[in-house]
Structure 1
């Protein structure tokens, strides 16, 4: 357990620098690199180079390849509303991925759901048996897997109004298959909107750049054949790149709302679970803060021992009353570098939004100064834009 206080330094030179055109250009570059994943992705790794927006041909190269955008954006939303998810390697599933047309288009946000029960996997500890066999099948093909999970996925799907009106008189159960997928696929949550929930999926994590889609396809057939041996036909298989990291963790609670314009900047430096920390003398040995508790006026926090003490020192009680204090800082070297770059990228994104809004305002003001119904419409749109 540990306590710590923070001292804040103010640098007038840095404050002047952030108000310069040079700083804005650097922020624009960071924003672009974050968007395309050239420097790092949302998991704070450097596996991804997503120059995909600059490719003219986005069709698959071969029978095992996906749409060029699908690996990068299929799992968008898994790590948070505005975050790109892990890279998809291969999937044996029935849903169709709707690719975005550009880097600023809003597209579906996927959610990860747990599997509490399955008609056959829940019986006689069958999932544990099948999972062990899946590990053997992966090892037989020398697939470097990092995790095997049983999950579902969900996202909201927009129904076109015209299509919705045309389908009002159609019999609900016509041509509907009686399987798990169809049961969940048409749950309506709002007018012209429905939630899609996939069948149960065996979600295999593999180390980055270690698995081809051809081998993944063969491996998925191995797993599907294994399921058939147990009389299971309603489970899908998917592979994504994943690395297990003992020193990292997500921000579990956001102190500000997602609508807050500074949410991306505030979250990493608030008193939430999962704060990145490091010992002052071991900045490259990073970890996360656990829960907080108070004893009288002293605030304590719990974290893993190996963040501050070498493993060869053993699990001995340490008291700074008789020994030197272990000073702890918020964020180690890597986490701080990521945080600083993310702030600059966020500033670049906001600068882009400002310039876009200024252009829209100028265009609408020019139209509103004319005459007729178009001027009234432009004035109305201008008012809505300013009010928002």
Structure 2
């Protein structure tokens, strides 16, 4: 890989201020290298602040009809012709967000002010990621001009081209417990120990590396066997030869584990933190109770009755907290005694994992998957099939609001009473690109969710234009460039959709239709701005033609 670091003397180089602040608001804070489009104006005034940006998807632009077929790959040829060491090529818009937005319910705001403060959405932008200090601004400029000329072949003249510095990342006994209700004392810690989707997995060969199981699959064909699906790079390490792996009964098994060693440590630490917090509450309640008992010894009848009522209430709260501490201590003991042993964490063993391949078939998707047999007994009686736990980071009301249940959208999200969203059906290819859903602003939208090892349950926005990603390996000369379904973060105020460790997570829309399996992300830091996935409709076809012809989603619990 050639490296021509940009210099401040480069005639096309942007200013340091623009490079560092142009993408203010994005989670990974990428550095701008070069861009076409309007001239940038720095913030002015004594209290000037950068206007923040959020990523937005693209569905309703002419580029969507040609990009996935051939335009995207012609852009790749332009970049290769200019020897640009790109990592990702995305097609996005940027929404400009005010630093201090006016309250939504402010009725006395005049129409002109509302229009002036209306968030600005940028032109469609071909957003190219390159390795830091690998590309000069002049090289980016020259490539951008050729890309703009290429777009004219398609009568597209309203698209910008941006270059940013960014990485592409694809990281990687006892029975499981039942999912618990929100008022259970273990609600904040027990998630990784339940059989809902987002199961934290590792392998006996690499117990310190963790990832996520995507789905349960039924073998079909009259068999009651249960399979698990995840990425190959989660199940088989990169140090092993990238060969087709098929399980043979006479050979040693490649065992899949529940929880990595790090997961166990993190879970124990989380329990300790919860116990410490509750222990502080116990001390406070006991101190309050002593104070109320002293007041009850007084002579004022009214004050005595009030103190007695307060003592009874405080005692009930104390009893509740002490029960929570007892439950947490029991779980901590179980983790230390039972789950620390690798043999006790064996969930099953790998059956098949083709070599990681890119640009597979006419769609040129990434093939990165492995199927393993699941020990049903390990799942316990809390197993309910393919359901995503929506978690407790957002209340049901907050979750529904993010899903536009309170807007002018033509569809609503129904929050499940038990917090577990059943997955039913698959999002077809045409719906990934042109969904029949609209957000509260009347714009095309496909909201998706996932539950992963690193970031738990998150909400994101799928893009209608697929992205192109490239990985670089020094020990092989094969083409490592593929097309991926892409998810952007919900907005600048929400957490990122994924981080390393979430690989293998299933991504579904809010109606429970399966969209894809998460394979990686991109950004200047591990906090990804863009998340990439392999479409599940295609992935299921590949699984069927590679040894599992009868596999299906109708898992029997």
- TM-score normalised by the chain length of structure 1: 0.45
TM-score, length of structure 2 as denominator length: 0.33
Instruction: Select the structure that is richer in helix.
Output: 1
**Structure whose residues are more often strand by fraction:** 2
